[in-house]
Protein backbone atom coordinates (compact mmCIF):
# COMPACT_ATOMS: atom_id res chain seq x y z
CA UNK A 1 0.00 0.00 0.00
CA UNK A 2 1.49 3.35 -1.04
CA UNK A 3 1.47 6.40 1.20
CA UNK A 4 -1.48 7.91 -0.71
CA UNK A 5 -3.62 4.82 -0.34
CA UNK A 6 -2.80 4.65 3.35
CA UNK A 7 -3.80 8.30 3.82
CA UNK A 8 -7.04 7.71 1.89
CA UNK A 9 -7.88 4.76 4.06
CA UNK A 10 -7.19 6.71 7.24
CA UNK A 11 -9.25 9.67 6.00
CA UNK A 12 -12.13 7.37 5.21
CA UNK A 13 -12.02 5.97 8.73
CA UNK A 14 -12.05 9.53 10.07
CA UNK A 15 -15.17 10.25 8.00
CA UNK A 16 -16.90 7.21 9.49
CA UNK A 17 -15.91 8.38 12.98
CA UNK A 18 -17.20 11.85 12.16
CA UNK A 19 -20.53 10.42 11.01
CA UNK A 20 -20.84 8.51 14.29
CA UNK A 21 -20.22 11.70 16.31
CA UNK A 22 -22.67 13.55 14.11
CA UNK A 23 -25.43 11.05 14.78
CA UNK A 24 -24.87 11.55 18.50
CA UNK A 25 -25.13 15.34 18.03
CA UNK A 26 -21.46 15.72 19.00
CA UNK A 27 -20.79 18.29 16.30
CA UNK A 28 -17.48 19.57 17.71
CA UNK A 29 -15.95 16.10 17.71
CA UNK A 30 -17.37 15.43 14.23
CA UNK A 31 -15.82 18.67 12.92
CA UNK A 32 -12.42 17.61 14.32
CA UNK A 33 -12.67 14.23 12.60
CA UNK A 34 -13.66 15.71 9.24
CA UNK A 35 -10.94 18.36 9.56
CA UNK A 36 -8.32 15.63 9.98
CA UNK A 37 -9.76 13.79 7.00
CA UNK A 38 -9.56 16.99 4.93
CA UNK A 39 -5.93 17.50 5.99
CA UNK A 40 -5.09 14.00 4.76
CA UNK A 41 -7.19 14.14 1.55
CA UNK A 42 -8.31 17.65 0.68
CA UNK A 43 -9.81 16.61 -2.65
CA UNK A 44 -12.69 14.51 -1.37
CA UNK A 45 -15.82 16.72 -1.55
CA UNK A 46 -17.89 14.70 0.93
CA UNK A 47 -15.49 15.59 3.78
CA UNK A 48 -16.19 19.24 3.10
CA UNK A 49 -19.98 18.87 2.83
CA UNK A 50 -20.13 16.75 5.96
CA UNK A 51 -18.19 19.37 7.86
CA UNK A 52 -20.42 22.08 6.41
CA UNK A 53 -23.47 20.26 7.77
CA UNK A 54 -21.90 20.27 11.25
CA UNK A 55 -21.30 24.03 10.99
CA UNK A 56 -24.92 24.40 9.85
CA UNK A 57 -26.13 22.56 12.93
CA UNK A 58 -24.15 25.02 15.04
CA UNK A 59 -25.48 28.02 13.08
CA UNK A 60 -21.94 28.89 12.00
CA UNK A 61 -23.03 30.15 8.58
CA UNK A 62 -19.75 31.73 7.57
CA UNK A 63 -17.99 28.36 7.81
CA UNK A 64 -20.91 26.61 6.09
CA UNK A 65 -20.35 28.91 3.14
CA UNK A 66 -16.59 28.35 3.07
CA UNK A 67 -16.84 24.57 3.14
CA UNK A 68 -19.62 24.46 0.55
CA UNK A 69 -17.68 26.66 -1.85
CA UNK A 70 -14.67 24.39 -1.52
CA UNK A 71 -16.82 21.31 -2.15
CA UNK A 72 -18.40 22.91 -5.24
CA UNK A 73 -14.93 23.70 -6.58
CA UNK A 74 -14.17 20.00 -6.38
CA UNK A 75 -17.50 18.89 -7.82
CA UNK A 76 -20.02 21.36 -9.14
CA UNK A 77 -22.89 18.85 -9.11
CA UNK A 78 -23.26 18.38 -5.38
CA UNK A 79 -26.89 18.89 -4.39
CA UNK A 80 -26.15 19.27 -0.68
CA UNK A 81 -23.34 21.77 -1.23
CA UNK A 82 -25.52 24.04 -3.38
CA UNK A 83 -28.39 23.65 -0.92
CA UNK A 84 -26.38 24.58 2.16
CA UNK A 85 -24.57 27.37 0.32
CA UNK A 86 -27.99 28.74 -0.69
CA UNK A 87 -29.16 28.70 2.92
CA UNK A 88 -25.96 30.42 4.07
CA UNK A 89 -26.35 33.16 1.45
CA UNK A 90 -29.98 33.73 2.42
CA UNK A 91 -28.87 34.04 6.05
CA UNK A 92 -26.69 36.97 5.15
CA UNK A 93 -29.43 38.61 3.08
CA UNK A 94 -27.93 37.69 -0.29
CA UNK A 95 -31.38 36.79 -1.61
CA UNK A 96 -30.75 36.63 -5.34
CA UNK A 97 -27.56 34.59 -4.94
CA UNK A 98 -29.13 32.32 -2.34
CA UNK A 99 -32.11 31.65 -4.59
CA UNK A 100 -29.78 30.85 -7.46
CA UNK A 101 -27.98 28.21 -5.39
CA UNK A 102 -31.24 26.66 -4.17
CA UNK A 103 -32.55 26.58 -7.74
CA UNK A 104 -29.37 24.81 -8.81
CA UNK A 105 -29.74 22.34 -5.91
CA UNK A 106 -33.35 21.68 -6.95
CA UNK A 107 -32.41 21.04 -10.58
CA UNK A 108 -29.63 18.66 -9.57
CA UNK A 109 -31.76 17.12 -6.84
CA UNK A 110 -34.53 16.02 -9.22
CA UNK A 111 -32.17 13.57 -10.83
CA UNK A 112 -30.58 12.41 -7.58
CA UNK A 113 -30.78 8.81 -6.45
CA UNK A 114 -33.71 7.96 -4.17
CA UNK A 115 -31.47 7.54 -1.12
CA UNK A 116 -30.24 11.11 -1.16
CA UNK A 117 -33.51 12.55 -2.49
CA UNK A 118 -34.10 15.92 -0.89
CA UNK A 119 -36.23 17.82 -3.42
CA UNK A 120 -39.07 18.43 -0.95
CA UNK A 121 -36.68 19.93 1.59
CA UNK A 122 -35.03 22.15 -1.02
CA UNK A 123 -38.43 23.15 -2.41
CA UNK A 124 -39.62 24.39 0.99
CA UNK A 125 -36.61 26.68 1.40
CA UNK A 126 -36.63 27.88 -2.20
CA UNK A 127 -40.37 28.56 -2.10
CA UNK A 128 -40.05 30.57 1.10
CA UNK A 129 -37.29 32.70 -0.40
CA UNK A 130 -39.09 33.14 -3.73
CA UNK A 131 -42.34 34.10 -2.01
CA UNK A 132 -40.55 36.79 0.00
CA UNK A 133 -38.92 38.05 -3.18
CA UNK A 134 -42.33 38.18 -4.88
CA UNK A 135 -43.89 40.02 -1.94
CA UNK A 136 -41.22 42.73 -2.16
CA UNK A 137 -41.32 43.17 -5.91
CA UNK A 138 -45.12 42.96 -6.22
CA UNK A 139 -45.62 45.56 -3.50
CA UNK A 140 -43.37 47.88 -5.45
CA UNK A 141 -45.18 47.13 -8.72
CA UNK A 142 -48.62 47.64 -7.26
CA UNK A 143 -47.56 50.94 -5.73
CA UNK A 144 -46.26 52.12 -9.10
CA UNK A 145 -49.44 51.03 -10.84
CA UNK A 146 -51.58 52.76 -8.24
CA UNK A 147 -49.82 56.09 -8.65
CA UNK A 148 -49.92 55.82 -12.43
CA UNK A 149 -53.64 55.07 -12.23
CA UNK A 150 -54.27 58.09 -10.06
CA UNK A 151 -52.31 60.28 -12.48
CA UNK A 152 -54.35 58.98 -15.44
CA UNK A 153 -57.62 59.50 -13.59
CA UNK A 154 -56.84 63.07 -12.68
CA UNK A 155 -55.76 63.79 -16.28
CA UNK A 156 -59.09 62.43 -17.53
CA UNK A 157 -61.00 64.48 -14.98
CA UNK A 158 -59.14 67.62 -15.90
CA UNK A 159 -59.88 67.12 -19.59
CA UNK A 160 -63.53 66.46 -18.84
CA UNK A 161 -63.69 69.68 -16.84
CA UNK A 162 -62.12 71.65 -19.72
CA UNK A 163 -64.40 70.02 -22.33
CA UNK A 164 -67.59 70.65 -20.39
CA UNK A 165 -66.74 74.30 -19.82
CA UNK A 166 -66.17 74.78 -23.59
CA UNK A 167 -69.19 73.05 -25.06
CA UNK A 168 -72.42 73.81 -23.36
CA UNK A 169 -75.44 71.73 -24.35
CA UNK A 170 -73.57 68.43 -24.80
CA UNK A 171 -72.72 68.11 -21.12
CA UNK A 172 -74.77 64.95 -20.56
CA UNK A 173 -73.11 63.09 -23.46
CA UNK A 174 -69.70 64.22 -22.35
CA UNK A 175 -70.35 63.04 -18.79
CA UNK A 176 -71.40 59.60 -20.00
CA UNK A 177 -68.26 59.26 -22.11
CA UNK A 178 -66.16 60.48 -19.23
CA UNK A 179 -67.59 57.88 -16.83
CA UNK A 180 -67.09 55.13 -19.41
CA UNK A 181 -63.48 56.15 -19.85
CA UNK A 182 -62.88 56.06 -16.10
CA UNK A 183 -64.40 52.59 -15.93
CA UNK A 184 -62.32 51.37 -18.87
CA UNK A 185 -59.22 52.78 -17.22
CA UNK A 186 -60.03 50.86 -14.03
CA UNK A 187 -60.37 47.65 -16.04
CA UNK A 188 -57.05 48.17 -17.77
CA UNK A 189 -55.27 48.65 -14.46
CA UNK A 190 -56.96 45.59 -12.95
CA UNK A 191 -55.79 43.61 -15.96
CA UNK A 192 -52.26 44.88 -15.46
CA UNK A 193 -52.33 43.72 -11.82
CA UNK A 194 -53.68 40.28 -12.70
CA UNK A 195 -50.37 38.37 -12.66
CA UNK A 196 -49.66 39.65 -9.16
CA UNK A 197 -53.11 38.79 -7.84
CA UNK A 198 -53.15 35.43 -6.02
CA UNK A 199 -55.67 33.07 -7.61
CA UNK A 200 -56.09 29.39 -8.31
CA UNK A 201 -53.16 27.41 -9.68
CA UNK A 202 -54.41 25.56 -12.80
CA UNK A 203 -55.24 21.90 -12.09
CA UNK A 204 -52.92 20.64 -14.82
CA UNK A 205 -49.94 22.05 -12.90
CA UNK A 206 -50.99 20.27 -9.71
CA UNK A 207 -50.48 16.68 -8.60
CA UNK A 208 -53.79 14.81 -8.30
CA UNK A 209 -52.67 13.34 -4.98
CA UNK A 210 -51.12 16.31 -3.19
CA UNK A 211 -53.38 18.82 -5.01
CA UNK A 212 -50.32 21.06 -4.83
CA UNK A 213 -48.19 22.55 -7.62
CA UNK A 214 -45.61 20.05 -8.94
CA UNK A 215 -42.09 20.14 -7.53
CA UNK A 216 -40.72 17.12 -9.37
CA UNK A 217 -43.33 15.75 -11.78
CA UNK A 218 -43.00 12.19 -13.04
CA UNK A 219 -45.21 10.48 -15.60
CA UNK A 220 -46.40 6.87 -15.55
CA UNK A 221 -46.91 4.61 -18.60
CA UNK A 222 -50.65 5.40 -18.37
CA UNK A 223 -49.90 9.07 -19.01
CA UNK A 224 -50.79 10.35 -15.54
CA UNK A 225 -48.35 12.71 -13.86
CA UNK A 226 -47.67 12.70 -10.11
CA UNK A 227 -45.34 14.30 -7.60
CA UNK A 228 -42.32 12.01 -7.43
CA UNK A 229 -42.01 11.77 -3.64
CA UNK A 230 -45.72 11.03 -3.25
CA UNK A 231 -46.08 8.42 -5.98
CA UNK A 232 -43.00 6.66 -4.58
CA UNK A 233 -44.62 6.65 -1.14
CA UNK A 234 -47.82 5.30 -2.65
CA UNK A 235 -45.94 2.49 -4.42
CA UNK A 236 -44.22 1.63 -1.16
CA UNK A 237 -47.16 1.88 1.23
CA UNK A 238 -50.39 1.39 -0.70
CA UNK A 239 -49.51 -0.86 -3.60
CA UNK A 240 -47.68 -1.24 -6.88
CA UNK A 241 -50.38 0.29 -9.06
CA UNK A 242 -51.16 3.57 -10.79
CA UNK A 243 -53.51 5.44 -8.43
CA UNK A 244 -55.77 6.50 -11.28
CA UNK A 245 -55.85 3.58 -13.65
CA UNK A 246 -54.93 0.80 -11.19
CA UNK A 247 -52.57 -0.60 -13.83
CA UNK A 248 -49.56 -2.36 -12.29
CA UNK A 249 -46.74 0.14 -11.78
CA UNK A 250 -43.12 -0.17 -10.66
CA UNK A 251 -40.93 2.69 -9.41
CA UNK A 252 -38.56 2.08 -12.34
CA UNK A 253 -41.34 2.98 -14.79
CA UNK A 254 -41.56 6.57 -13.55
CA UNK A 255 -40.08 9.09 -15.97
CA UNK A 256 -39.54 12.83 -15.36
CA UNK A 257 -42.21 14.92 -17.07
CA UNK A 258 -40.05 17.72 -18.41
CA UNK A 259 -42.83 19.55 -20.24
CA UNK A 260 -44.87 19.92 -17.05
CA UNK A 261 -41.74 20.88 -15.12
CA UNK A 262 -41.15 23.72 -17.58
CA UNK A 263 -44.79 24.76 -17.56
CA UNK A 264 -44.66 24.96 -13.75
CA UNK A 265 -41.50 27.05 -13.92
CA UNK A 266 -43.03 29.44 -16.47
CA UNK A 267 -46.14 29.81 -14.31
CA UNK A 268 -44.10 30.44 -11.16
CA UNK A 269 -41.88 32.99 -12.90
CA UNK A 270 -44.98 34.97 -13.79
CA UNK A 271 -47.04 34.32 -10.64
CA UNK A 272 -44.67 34.44 -7.67
CA UNK A 273 -47.58 34.14 -5.20
CA UNK A 274 -47.89 30.48 -6.21
CA UNK A 275 -44.70 29.80 -4.23
CA UNK A 276 -46.69 30.27 -1.05
CA UNK A 277 -46.10 27.41 1.39
CA UNK A 278 -48.08 27.09 4.59
Partner 1 sequence: MCSGVGLISRISLSTLFFFHPFVITNCEPNLTLHFHSPNPTLPSLFSSLLFSLSLSLSLYAQKIMTSSSASSRKNLSKIACNRLQKELVEWQVNPPSGFNHKVTDNLQRWVIEVIGAPGTLYANETYQLQVDFPENYPMEAPQVIFLNPAPLHPHIYSNGHICLDILYDSWSPAMTVSSICISILSMLSSSTVKQRPEDNDRYVKNCRNGRSPKETRWWFHDDKV
Q: Name the site residues for partner 1 (rule: CB under 8 A).
A: 208-212, 230, 233-234, 237-239, 241, 243-246, 248, 278
Greatest CA separation found in the chain? 107
Minimum gap (Å) between residue 17 Cβ and partner 1: 35
Name the β-bridge partners of 227.
217
Name the β-bridge partners of 198.
none
Minimum gap (Å) between residue 223 Cβ and partner 1: 13
Minimum gap (Å) between residue 76 Cβ and partner 1: 32
Contact 40, 11 (CB under 8 A): yes
Q: Residue 206: phi, psi to the nearest 5?
A: -115, 145
Using DSSP, state whether 213 is helix, strand or coil.
Answer: strand
Residue 64 or 218 with smaller CB distance to partner 1: 218
Minimum gap (Å) between residue 243 Cβ and partner 1: 4
End-to-end CA distance of the chain: 55
Residue 61 or 273 with smaller CB distance to partner 1: 273
Residue 101 or 242 with smaller CB distance to partner 1: 242
Let me know if 30 is exposed, middle or buried by CB neighbors in 10 A (0-12, 13-18, 19+). buried
Residue 161 or 244 with smaller CB distance to partner 1: 244
The number of CA neighbours under 13 Å toward the Cβ of 269 is 7
| Helices 95-110, 79-91: inter-axial angle, 10-degree rounding | 160
Residue 1 or 238 with smaller CB distance to partner 1: 238
Minimum gap (Å) between residue 224 Cβ and partner 1: 8
Amino acid sequence: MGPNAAAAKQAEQLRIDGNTYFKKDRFGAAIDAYTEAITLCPNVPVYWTNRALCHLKRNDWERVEEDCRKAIQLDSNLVKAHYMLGLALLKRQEHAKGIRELQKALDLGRGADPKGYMVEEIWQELAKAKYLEWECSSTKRSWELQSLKEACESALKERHFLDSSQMEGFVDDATTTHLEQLEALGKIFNKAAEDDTPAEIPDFLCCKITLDIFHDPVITPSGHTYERAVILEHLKKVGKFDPFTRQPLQPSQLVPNLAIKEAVQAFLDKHGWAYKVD
